[in-house]
């Protein structure tokens, strides 16, 4: 038995209303942040506990060690919401009013950080000529702490490459009680305007040029 035309029209009307009332699917994280979102992020940062750490860990990917070459250990992709949480957690005597005042919706950024570790095949000591003259004997040297500058860094938003301008970084060391320190790796940072990430995915690729590149894919629909 077929439904009456009037009944069919009624069901179609309900379906149209339901579709129109449903929120549109989110393609990426929130930007610009609303005042309420800034306030919520502020209080999440003030917790300074395991729940806050677990939340921020959602914005970091940990990569497996390669067979050879340096180890790109982790890649963090901090959205404006995550950055407010981080800033709130790092500052003492910091109020929700200050967080709201210091937040500038038109200047929101995404901050990307990469941790690189040295490995047995790419260590703190390297072999090289002991002098500038041709034929100089080969000796052992310390690796340049700015080794990370020789890497190539690429960022893609929904498949489109974004230009990485002037990454910054600093070497990391392990020090003993006698004051001796050994190079262990580096931290590398760069930023982009948040508005460039208006799609559902982003990829960060790191090419050390002496080994296979590493990459981290982020599903931006799962980040806030």
| Residue 72: strand, helix, or coil | strand
CA-CA distance, 153 to 77, in Å (whole number)?
14
Q: What CATH code is carried by the domain that includes residue 157? A: 2.60.40.10
In a domain, 128, yes or no: yes
Number of separate domains in the chain:
1
How far apart are alpha carbons 165 and 155 in whole angstroms? 11
Whether residue 4 lies inside any domain: the answer is no
Full domain range(s) for residue 104: 27-222
Closest C-alpha to 214, from 47, 61, 86, 44: 61
Residue 15 lies in a domain: no
Question: What is the residue-level pLDDT of the chain in tens, covering all 224 positions?
Answer: 555 555 545 444 443 344 333 444 456 899 999 999 999 999 999 999 999 999 999 999 999 999 999 999 999 999 999 999 999 999 999 999 999 999 999 999 999 999 999 999 999 999 877 677 776 678 899 999 999 999 999 999 988 999 998 899 999 999 987 878 999 999 999 999 999 998 899 999 999 999 999 999 999 999 99
Residue 9 pLDDT: 53
Residue 116 forms part of a structural domain:
yes
Measured CA to CA, the distance from residue 206 to residue 212 in angstroms comes to 9
C-beta atoms surrounding 186 within 10 Å: 21
* Structural domain includes residue 83: yes
Domain membership flag for residue 157: yes
Residue 131 within any structural domain of the chain: yes
Q: Are 105 and 32 in contact (CB under 8 A)?
A: yes
User: Where would I find the beta strands (DSSP E) of the chain?
Assistant: 60-62, 71-78, 109-117, 125-129, 138-142, 152-157, 160-162, 168-175, 181-193, 201-207, 214-219
pLDDT of residue 111: 98
Give the helix, strand, coil percentages of the chain, each rounded to 5: 30, 35, 35
Measured CA distances, 86 to 49, 55, 104, 170 (Å): 12, 11, 16, 20
Residue 164 lies in a domain: yes
What pLDDT is attached to residue 205? 98
CA distance 62 to 41: 24
Q: What pLDDT, on a 0 to 100 scale, did the predictor assign at position 3?
A: 54
């Amino acid at each position: 038995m077929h439904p009456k035309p009037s009944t069919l029209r009624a069901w179609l009307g309900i379906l149209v209303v339901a579709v129109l009332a449903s929120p549109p699917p989110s393609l990426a994280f929130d930007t610009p942040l609303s005042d309420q979102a800034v306030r919520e992020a502020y209080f999440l940062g003030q917790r300074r506990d395991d729940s806050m750490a677990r939340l921020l860990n959602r914005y970091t990917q940990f990569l497996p060690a390669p067979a050879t070459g340096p180890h790109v250990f982790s890649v963090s992709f901090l959205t404006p919401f995550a950055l407010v949480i981080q800033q709130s957690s790092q500052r003492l005597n910091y109020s929700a009013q200050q967080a709201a005042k210091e937040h500038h919706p038109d200047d929101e950024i995404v901050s990307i950080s990469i941790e690189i570790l040295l490995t047995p095949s790419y260590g703190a000591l390297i072999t090289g000529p002991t002098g500038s003259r041709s034929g100089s004997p080969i000796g052992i040297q310390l690796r340049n702490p700015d080794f990370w500058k020789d890497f190539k860094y690429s960022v893609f938003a929904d498949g489109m490459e974004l230009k990485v301008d002037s990454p910054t970084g600093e070497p990391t060391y392990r020090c003993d009680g006698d004051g001796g320190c050994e190079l262990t790796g580096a931290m590398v940072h760069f930023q982009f305007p948040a508005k460039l990430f208006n799609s559902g995915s982003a990829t960060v690729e790191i090419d050390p040029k002496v080994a296979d590149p590493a990459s981290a894919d982020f599903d931006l629909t799962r980040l806030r």
